[in-house]
Amino acid sequence: MGPRILVLNGPNLNMLGVRQPEVYGDNSYADVVDVCAAAAAARGASVEVRQTNDEAELLGWIHDVARTRNFSAIVINPAAWTHTSVAIADALVIPEIPIIEVHISNVHARESFRHHSYVSPIAAAVIAGCGLAGYRYGVDRAVDLSGA
């Protein structure tokens, strides 16, 4: 069995396709799942893709990774929590596995409150502004770093 990659998505990403298509594009959340699955399959890896609008649920998922050690890397689009949550950044260091931060839009070309990320300092890589392909690159990099 190849590397197991966990892809986590934060709030409002279930609304892709409906939400500000001029910023996030026309693709749906189901397309995110498909992109991640294809990227993992191309590398002989497996992927699990999750989304939540509940910060506590996301924290619990990260804690479970630390307890069970069942994933070799995490790809995360923390969405708005990127800019607000010390708790998520703190949790992401607990599993001691590579963290890849992905944003669909180029957060640095948007409002100034999106320029700061609590996650970037603990991330092995940060991908922004590549649309859904960012998840493909993120999963690919996560496989590169798995077991590294």
Site residues, ligand DQA (CB under 6 A) = 12, 77, 79-80, 82, 103-105, 107, 114
DSSP H helices, the chain, are 21-24, 29-42, 55-68, 86-92, 133-145
Classify 128 in phi/psi space as left (phi over 0), alpha (psi -120 to 50) or beta: beta
Instruction: Please name the residue that has the structure tokens 């590398």.
Output: 43
* Choice between 72 and 117, CB closer to ligand DQA: 117
Report whether 7 contacts 39 (CB < 8 A).
no
Q: How far is the CB of 104 from ligand DQA (least distance, A)?
A: 4
* Choice between 68 and 112, CB closer to ligand DQA: 112
* Choice between 72 and 135, CB closer to ligand DQA: 135
Q: Is 108 a catalytic residue?
A: no
Q: How far is the CB of 12 from ligand DQA (least distance, A)?
A: 5
Task: List the catalytic residues.
Answer: 24, 103
